[in-house]
Structure 1
Amino acid sequence: MQSHKKKILIIDTMHQSIIPLLEDLDFDVDYKPKITRQEIIDTLSEYVGIVVRSKTTIDAELLQNAGKLKFVARAGAGIDQLDVRVLENRKITIVNAPEGNRDALGEHALGMLLCLANKINVGDLMVRQMVWDREGHRGFELKDKTIALIGYGQMGSAFSEKLVGLSCNVIAYDKYKSGYSSLLVKEASMQEIYEKADVVSFHVPLTEETRNLADKSFFLNFRKNIVVLNTSRGEVLNLKDLLDFLEEGKVKCAALDVLENEKLDQLTDEQKAVFQRLIQMENVLLTPHVGGWTFESYERINQILTDKISKLSY
């Protein structure tokens, strides 16, 4: 007997809880993490919803047969792989889950900052090589330092929460928000950030406006030599310009959870040259885009998504 339930397609590997959660909402769930892009195009006409992590871009080509599609659920925070204009024109709702991995991201950003401040990664490597150099690994304290956040959404606010108790001054600039000063953070202008920041941490989505936001002209504005953290998107920060300032000392050290091109086997010659410079720097800390990638967030994202899907009206 043919089911009359609304069908939803999952095209990426997800925590196993996603299927029963969606079935509880009376969906007929097709879990196909190995599906190809062409197969998605060919079968999307059957579905009212699609759940995606990062497998493929949701654009006009993919949606050519999606006559029934009412929503796209992004299992994570960023929606840069979704063509928002096309989806809005087709009246397809976008659902994402920044609340699901905000705590994971905040903890990771704090961990990276503490690691840089105390040279933990370099010190560990040296001891393993039988080098016991205390003076060479003297760190700096976060107390009384000014931590500047660029963007104060779910991720920026989560990081500010994790900084409580370290007696640092947290300021934030968000072009699209105001009135968010609290015990956690002080709302600031970019001019204040340029003047006061000891540490600059990026928490903005990737858009045409934020692409290449942190370039040579950006770094030249800072009065102090700064520490840079990027846990947002790699394309927000011009890596070549960052490296130049690291070599000059204008940027004292940097922690990067994201890169402009994270497919390391597909780097262009220019990107390879930049990457080789990057990995030779002891004052650079790298992680493989795992800022929001914990066991807890993996499951929590599903709970957030399905809760938001349950509230949709279509």
Structure 2
Amino acid sequence: MKCLIVDQMHEKTDQFFNEIGLEVEYQPDITRSEILDCIGGYEGMVIRSKTPVDKELIEKATKLRFIARAGAGVDNLDVELLEEKNIAIINAPEGNRNALAEQSVGMLLSLLHHIVKADKEVRKGAWHREANRGVELAGKTVGLLGYGYMGQAFAKKLSVFGCNVLAYDKYKVNCTDKYCRQTTLQEVFDESDIFSIHVPLTGETKQMVDKEFIDSFKKNIYLLNTSRGEVLSLAACCEALESGKLLGLALDVLENERLNELTDEQRKNFSYLSTSNKTILTPHVAGWSFESYENISRVLAAKIKAFLTQ
């Protein structure tokens, strides 16, 4: 079975895939037009985010049995059409969940203890102890939006700090475990000191966390987003930071991550966030560690093997 890899992957990917009987063609520099020209000759395809897997591409993939997404999200895939064509969708949230959970903890601690702000000040010769007095994570109530692989991994890390973790996930039933209690969205609004987003980007979740959503929290909160940027309104975040409703904001993702292509409004919001001492911004790397890079390929190989032998 021939499998086309169109994005940069870990050096061991060929080995993992060959071991399960795939004939791999590794073309990380391939263009979209070249993919369209050749995809009809492959039974499998592996992609990160190079190009949308849309109707145009799917219609040309006449032999395709599976498409593997090297990561967790599948928002760049036309899921409905792939399912209609009986093409399996294989992703690997297990591969980078630990990396994402570790960074989420790191970003949260950095917010609570003003680590980034204090570091910048000290480097400039300022020694402001009282202005950088920290807030302890221990005993805080953390509300999670979504309790899939990422939310579960974050909750497990938080348990070490003695946090009370609540999760709202409308698509899960009885997902309470030793790290987290499933609850209503209203209880998340009422009880949370910290709120973290762990849902995929869909038509339902796009701009879900807007001004009205943020204003629904009873307390002033810290907010983290390591899922997809378009789930969260940055305009609403800027307003909430200004009013004090948000005590701090950690973002690994943005509505538009092409920083040289921002609209006027996006540029205004980004300017505010990037100059605020209440924010931490990272370039979509929460699940991107040296370990996860290899592990994603290992997980995909295991899942593809299971699919082919079922």
TM-score, normalised to structure 2, is 0.98
2:290 matched to 1:306?
Answer: no
**Does the CA contact (< 8 Å) of 1:116 and 1:253 recur in 2?**
yes
Selected match of 1:34 from 29, 32, 39: 29
SS of 2:60's partner is: coil
- Report the Cα distance in structure 1 between the residues aligned to 2:266 and 2:158, rounded to whole angstroms: 34
Give the equivalent residue in structure 1 for 2:98: 103
1:1-314 to structure 2, matched below 5 A, reads 6-313=1-308
- Report the Cα distance in structure 1 between the residues aligned to 2:106 and 2:3, rounded to whole angstroms: 37
Deviations 1:259-292 (A, max 9, x none): 0000111111221111111111100110110000
> Which structure is higher in helix share?
2
SS of 1:81's partner is: coil
- Report the Cα distance in structure 1 between the residues aligned to 2:191 and 2:268, rounded to whole angstroms: 33
**Does the CA contact (< 8 Å) of 1:41 and 1:64 recur in 2?**
no
**Gaps spanning 5+ residues in structure 2: where?**
none
Deviating more after overlay: 146-155 vs 179-188? 179-188
Deviations 1:276-313 (A, max 9, x none): 11111100110110000000000000110000000114
- Report the Cα distance in structure 1 between the residues aligned to 2:70 and 2:178, rounded to whole angstroms: 31
- Report the Cα distance in structure 2 between the residues aligned to 1:79 and 1:242, rounded to whole angstroms: 25
**Does the CA contact (< 8 Å) of 1:108 and 1:291 recur in 2?**
yes
Supply the AA of the counterpart residue of 1:244.
E
Deviations 1:91-113 (A, max 9, x none): 10000000000000000000000
Superposed CA RMSD: 0.9
Deviating more after overlay: 151-160 vs 171-180? 171-180
Supply the AA of the counterpart residue of 1:289.
H
SS of 1:228's partner is: strand
Deviations 1:53-79 (A, max 9, x none): 110100111122211000000000000
TM-score, normalised to structure 1, is 0.97
**Does the CA contact (< 8 Å) of 1:101 and 1:300 recur in 2?**
yes
Supply the AA of the counterpart residue of 2:278.
N
Count of equivalent residues:
309
Regions of 4+ moved over 3 Å = none
SS of 2:166's partner is: strand
- Report the Cα distance in structure 1 between the residues aligned to 2:300 and 2:106, rounded to whole angstroms: 27
The offset of 1:235, in angstroms, is 0.3
The offset of 1:179, in angstroms, is 1.0
**Kindly, what percent of the aligned residue pairs are identical?**
50
- Report the Cα distance in structure 2 between the residues aligned to 1:44 and 1:112, rounded to whole angstroms: 40
- Report the Cα distance in structure 2 between the residues aligned to 1:97 and 1:70, rounded to whole angstroms: 17
The offset of 1:8, in angstroms, is 0.4
Deviations 1:211-235 (A, max 9, x none): 0010011011111001000000000
- Report the Cα distance in structure 1 between the residues aligned to 2:135 and 2:21, rounded to whole angstroms: 55
